[in-house]
Amino acid sequence: MSASLVATLSAVAFALTSFPSLFRHHEHFYEMSPEQARWAILCLLLLFNGWMLYREWFFRRWKRRLSAQTDLVDAQPGQVFDPSGIDPVTGLHTRAFIDQQLGKEIARARRQNTALSLATIHLDELTEVTKRHGLSATDAALKELARRMKKACRGSDFPARLAEDDFLLVLPECNLGEVKSVLNRIGALEVVCSGRRINVAYTTGFVDYQPGDMPGDLLKRAAQLLHLYENAAKESFSSTLAPH
C-alpha cells in the first residue's frame, strides 16, 4: 500500500469523524465516540509510518551489503574473474562461479543448520618463483596446487582460484577438525621444472559461516585473511612449506 493512498484514506476517515450523526448510538460496547475514532486513526498512522521507516532501513542495509560485495570484487588486484567460471590455467572455478554457488551453500547451511567453512590458500612467493625460474615454473606450481586441491576435496567440496596467488576451498558440512584434515591432504608443494626441483611455500587458514552471513561477508573475511598472508610473506622469507 502506497503512502499517498494511506494519507488519502486517513483524511477521509478524519473527515467522517466530524459528522456526529455517525456516532449517535451507544448500545454496543464496541461503538466509539468521534474522539476515540480520531485517536485510533492516529495510532494506525504511527504504526504505518514506523513500518515504512523499518522497510527503508532494511533496503538501505541490503544495498550497502551489495555495494560492499561489488567493492570487494573491484578492490582485489590480479583477481581471476573469467566469465565462464573456469580458470584456464588451473581448471579451477573462478570468482564468477563462487558468487553464484556460495549463496546456495549458505542457504542450505541455514536451512539444515549445518557447518560451512572456507579454507584459504596463499602462495607466499609466487612472484619470486617467476623471477627465478620463469613462467613455466609458475604455471607448473599453479597446476600442481590445483591438482592437489582437487584430490584433497571431498565429494561436496569445490576448489576455486580467486586471484593470481590466492585460492579457496568451499567446504560444506565441514567443522574445524575436518578443515584441517582436508588441508593436510594437500601436503608440501614441489614441482620439477627444467630438471630442477622447486619447493613452493604456501600458507593456509579458514573462515566459517556465522548466522546472518551473506556470501559477501564470508568472502570479505577470506580476502582479509589472504591479505594478511600476502603482507607477512613480503616481510619475511621464512614461510612454511606445509599447511599448519
- For position 124, what pLDDT does the model report? 85
End-to-end CA distance of the chain: 57
- On whether the CB atoms of residues 159 and 168 are closer than 8 A, the answer is yes
Tell me what the mean pLDDT of segment 45-67 comes to.
74
Band of the pLDDT at 142, cuts 50, 70, 90?
Answer: very high
**Beta-carbon-side half-sphere exposure of residue 53 (alpha carbons within 13 Å):** 6
Tell me what the mean pLDDT of segment 167-196 comes to.
88
pLDDT at 241 over 50: no
- Chain centroid to Cα 97, Å, comes to 13
Task: Tell me which range, 36-40, 44-48, 188-192, 227-231, is most confidently predicted by mean pLDDT.
Answer: 188-192
- On whether the CB atoms of residues 220 and 68 are closer than 8 A, the answer is yes
DSSP 176-213: HHHHHHHHHTT--EEEEETTEEEEE-EEEEEEE--TT-
Across-strand partners of 203? 122
